[in-house]
Amino acid sequence: PARYFDTKTTEPISFFLSGLEELLSWQPNSNDEFNISAVPLAKRQPLLRSRRPRTLVCHDMRGGYLEDRFIQGSATRNPYVFYHWRYIDIFVYFSHHTVTIPPVVWTNAAHRNGVSVLGTFITEWTDGEKLCEAFLAGGEEAYGAVARQLARIAQHYRFDGWLVNIENTLSAAAVGNLAPFLRELTAQVHSAVPGGLVIWYDSVLQDGSLRWQNELNEQNRVYFDACDGLFTNYNWKEEQLQNTRRLAGPRHADVYVGVDVFARGDVVGGGFDTDKSLRLIRQQNLSAAIFAPGWVYEHLGEENFLQNENRFWGLLADYLPTHSICTLPLATSFSLGMGTSRFLDGKDEETGPWYDLSVQEIQPLYPEYQGRLTTSCCLQDAWCGGSSLRLQGTIPPGEESVAVRLFSLQMPAPPKLFLTLLYKLESPQPDDFTVALEVTTWDSGTCLEGNPTSLPEPNGRHYPRFLPAPPPGLAKLLAACHHNSYGWTSRCYELMLQDCSLRDLSVIVSRQEPSPQETSFTCLLGEIRVLDTSSVAASPPQVQNVTASQLWWQ
């Protein structure tokens, strides 16, 4: 069927639903198994329900369902990717179809990085009025059926809820049932989807008129009270933020103040001035909804996209609280889920463009330090996948090393950790530098490294012990430790800790010899792994009863 498979290539594709009839007649179907997310939502800290202001990204690009609809990837040159997951909480996939089911590749990538994904339920124009009249004015049975279907769809495809956007006027009968519908949808989503969310877009008022308020006020509060949050329109002024903060009270983090990166209408700042909007939003301790950050790709073009993307998010970093990983193992090759080649064990196995967000790996922080260091993606060389992480910077005169914080962690440390690192130095004299890992722990009087007689580390910095070869029993898993191929250097370490809590994982680039001069370096990171020894030593369960379906030979 054309809904599930591309008519030209027969490949499975992601899809949307148009109109009320398609929504109400939707049933799970064996053809759409490809669309079910295979990646559970990773745990992270702080939790989504904490009071800390959040960041929502609303992805709206050229109508949606572009190359990202190909579930098993495509040969797309210079595609759009998003990878600053550590800085955001919620990802909304937006289009103007009635029921926007997020393409599964986005759900997989976001979930792997601990980010919740919402689809969009939208009605607009005259058709929207008719649709709303049919299900809202129809009473409890009619709107209850819509709420149940939307919750079932999120549960079936394993995404996390809905943005609801009613952008048309409503009759008195319809508007009377709008808040009850939102309450019912929210209850259904909460019961069907663990951690599920329903967010309302600032549009229709309680009298049924369509008037964007750009704030939370008495005219739209009834909808805020009926669901998990309000996404405001974009043309707000500072005074409206203050009003919103007052009215929201303890739920201030549930108001997502809209920021249109295209800066349409009368807005504070978009484009590379988006930080001006975020500064004002954060002063009021409110959450932010960044709409259409694909501006970087659409407006500035595909050519220097990765460079421009890092610049865009780098300018916002001061206003985007980051998230910590709180489970092990942590393993990543930093691949973006796209590339100009496919690499395996450092070797370019297949040259040619590819794009598949489902195989995007866990993404790090992308720190920049006042011109002394930049972190970016390198497509020209990788250990595994399509890209590696490039660290470029200088070691100042008189200093021995520079530390690059890649991940913030928040979990109790197991008694023994194994760590692996694969890197390649591209500096003019690579032998002048060494590269190593540093683990920091939260300050605690009880935290000890190694044996019980050792003293607590000052400021909780630990340098794992280098292992010339992997320990027996783990040799197969840690094969990287003793192989040096295509210019990549591999290192294996162990770290024993007692009563500690992990805080940060950093890479340290050091000079071999002290120098009065500033020294520049470029280092590619191909892979990092942090493993809890006790869980690695156990052999994995055998796979049983494998079945293959949906076979199509060409």
pLDDT at residue 297, rounded to an integer: 97
Strand partners of residue 271: none
Considering the domain boundaries, does residue 545 fall inside one? no
User: Which tokens go with 462?
Assistant: 């630990």
What's the CATH number where 41 sits?
3.20.20.80
Strand partners of residue 509: 402, 435
User: Which tokens go with 518?
Assistant: 């500033």
Domain boundary among 283, 298, 321: 321
Write down the H helix ranges in 177-304. 178-192, 221-226, 238-248, 274-283, 295-300
pLDDT at residue 153, rounded to an integer: 98
Considering the domain boundaries, does residue 434 fall inside one? yes
Considering the domain boundaries, does residue 436 fall inside one? yes
pLDDT at residue 480, rounded to an integer: 57
Place of tokens 């209408």: 265
Same domain, residue pair 280 and 341: no
Same domain, residue pair 200 and 301: yes
Contact assessment for residue 415 and residue 427, using Cβ atoms and an 8 Å cutoff: no
Considering the domain boundaries, does residue 553 fall inside one? no
Same domain, residue pair 371 and 513: yes
Q: In 3D, which of 6, 119, 145, 127 has the Cα closest to residue 71?
A: 6
User: Kind of pairing, strands 197-201 and 99-100?
Assistant: unpaired
Same domain, residue pair 276 and 355: no
Domain extent, residue 407, equals: 330-537
Same domain, residue pair 159 and 288: yes
Same domain, residue pair 55 and 166: yes
Considering the domain boundaries, does residue 404 fall inside one? yes
pLDDT at residue 551, rounded to an integer: 76
Q: In 3D, which of 374, 306, 369 has the Cα closest to residue 523?
A: 374
pLDDT at residue 467, rounded to an integer: 83
pLDDT at residue 9, rounded to an integer: 87
Q: CA 548 to CA 235: how far, in whole Å?
A: 52
In a 10 Å sphere around its CB, with 0-12 CB exposed, 13-18 middle and 19+ buried, how is residue 306 labelled?
Answer: buried
Report how far apart, in Å, the C-alpha atoms of 99 and of each of 96, 153, 224, 431 are.
Answer: 8, 10, 21, 57
Considering the domain boundaries, does residue 2 fall inside one? no
Please name the amino acid found at residue 204: V
Place of tokens 């290539």: 9
Same domain, residue pair 288 and 336: no
pLDDT at residue 341, rounded to an integer: 97
Same domain, residue pair 268 and 209: yes
The DSSP H or E segment spanning 308 is helix 305-316
Q: What is the DSSP string of 427-468?
A: SSSGGGEEEEEEEEE---TT-EESSTTSPPPGGGEE-PEEES
Same domain, residue pair 337 and 294: no
Ramachandran angles phi, psi of 48, nearest 5°:
-60, -30
Same domain, residue pair 304 and 338: no
In a 10 Å sphere around its CB, with 0-12 CB exposed, 13-18 middle and 19+ buried, how is residue 343 labelled?
Answer: buried
What's the CATH number where 437 sits?
2.60.120.260
Q: In 3D, which of 217, 213, 220, 256 has the Cα closest to residue 236?
A: 213
Residues of the chain with pLDDT under 50: 452-455
